[in-house]
Structure formats: structure tokens, C-alpha cells
A = this chain, B = another copy of it.
Amino acid sequence: MAGPCAVESRQQILAAARGVAAAGASMLRGGAFKPRTSPRSFQGLGREGLELLREASRETGLPVVTEVLDPRDVELVAEHAAMLQVGSRSMQNFPLLREVGRSGHPVLLKRGAAATIDEFLLAADYILAEGNDRVILCERGVRGFDPSTRNLLDLAAVPILQSRTDAPVVVDPSHGTGRADLVPVMARAAVAAGADGILVEVHPDPESALSDREQALRLTEFGDLVEDLERWLPLAGRRIARTLNTATSTPEAGAST
């Protein structure tokens, strides 16, 4: 799953979508509603962003995963995207978890920055309790004490989660490190740790990005990453899924058996 942190313009999201599709991505990611630490930061294009994502999806054939922040927006986002993302800061937003559960739509649930494995699985239980078992869990790093990286990527969470749930487990090395230079190697390590998919931030022009520019790969770097992962995936008994089967109860993610 690849794409920019935020949808910024029609031109930007179409360039990103075409680029990641050409490089072999299975899904397009991109934020229309952005959870920003400061109210003065760019908050996303909202409904317009959703429409641009749908256009990019139609043109490239890539299904879209995008974040929903507000339980009142779940229906709207579900109309525009194949998968709903519940972000790290919302992992224990219980009204939102219930609403995405009720939607029946596939959900990508990201681990909270201070969440234990138990708390992460119990958050997923809120979605399951509404009868929606199409949940993908995403390890994206926890809060650490070392300023060298934005978060501390906990790859041991991958096998632990897999031993405790049937849900696919994907890894986000972009937020997990906050550094574009570390994304390829940590994506590879995530595959070796058994991840069912990889979620990466890719931007056609990282320098001009309105958010997370330090951690976005260029399109050529993403192409190199896919090529590299294709060498490692067979050892993990995996291949890159070219389609996302959202009709089944266990949606396939970036890389699957």
C-alpha cells in the first residue's frame, strides 16, 4: 500500500497513483482528513480529497485506503474508499471503532503510540464486536526515547500479533522510523518478520510535500523498494497481491501468501 501522506491536489494524487501503480503497489493510500498535532497545520482537503482519491482509484485500478477521523464521516469515507484507516491517535477512539465496525467495510487499524499488544487487540475487538471481521492490523512504531527516529518500530509485534489473531498484520516503516533513508531496509526487515503487507509513504515530489516530507519516498525509490521486496518475498512464502479482494472476510494486503 503506497501513496502520499495527504492528498494535496489533483495533479499530485494522480501522479502518485500512477507512479505507485506502475511500480507494483496493490493499494493507494492518501489522507483526505488529516489528524494534525497542531490546528495551524494543513488539515487535508476533506470531501474534495476523497473525490480525488476516487478519481485516482478509477484511473489506476488501485483500491484506496484512507483515514477516517470522525464517526460522522464513516459513511462518506466508505463511499469513496475500499478500506477505512483508523489512525494511531484514534486507536482507542471507541465511538469511531464502533462506527467503522458497523459499516462492514474493511478497516486498517493502526497501533497507538503507547499501546500494548493487548490494548491493540482489544481495540480491534470493538470492530469485531459489531460483526465486522475485515480488520487489518498495522504496526507503525511506538513512542521511544531516542530522537534518531520518529518512533520505535516494534517488529516483534508482527509475529506476536499473528500468533494471537487471524487478522493480517502490516507494517508502516514510514511512520515507524520517520526517515526516508530507513524505509527500504525496514520494509525488508518487516517482510522477513512475516508481515502480510507494507504501508509506505510515497510522494511525487517529497520536498514540496505539505506534511511528512522527511519520510516520503520518491517514486523511483519506491520502484526500487518493490523490486527489492520481490527478491525477498519468496523466502517468506509470499508474493505481491495484484488485486485486493475486498469481498472476503480476510482482505489481502500488500503482500500475501
Contact = CB atoms under 8 A, between A and B. Distances in A.
A146 B115 CA distance: 8
A5 B149 CA distance: 31
Interface in A79-122: 89-90, 92-95, 112-114, 116-119, 122
Contact of A69 (B70, B94, B112): B94
Contacts of A247: none
A188 interface: yes
A154 interface: yes
Interface string A135-172: 00000001111111100111110111001000000000
Contacts of A149: 156, 160
A80 B119 CA distance: 31
Contact of A142 (B39, B112, B152): B152
Nearest to A126: B39
Contact of A152 (B39, B156, B192): B156
Contact of A232 (B114, B118, B148, B235): B235
Interface of A: 35-40, 69-72, 89-90, 92-95, 112-114, 116-119, 122-123, 125-126, 129, 142-149, 152-156, 158-160, 163, 176-177, 181-182, 185-186, 188-194, 231-232, 235
19 contacts: A35-B94, A36-B94, A37-B122, A37-B123, A89-B92, A112-B114, A114-B142, A116-B147, A117-B146, A142-B145, A143-B143, A144-B152, A152-B152, A155-B189, A156-B186, A160-B182, A189-B190, A189-B193, A192-B232
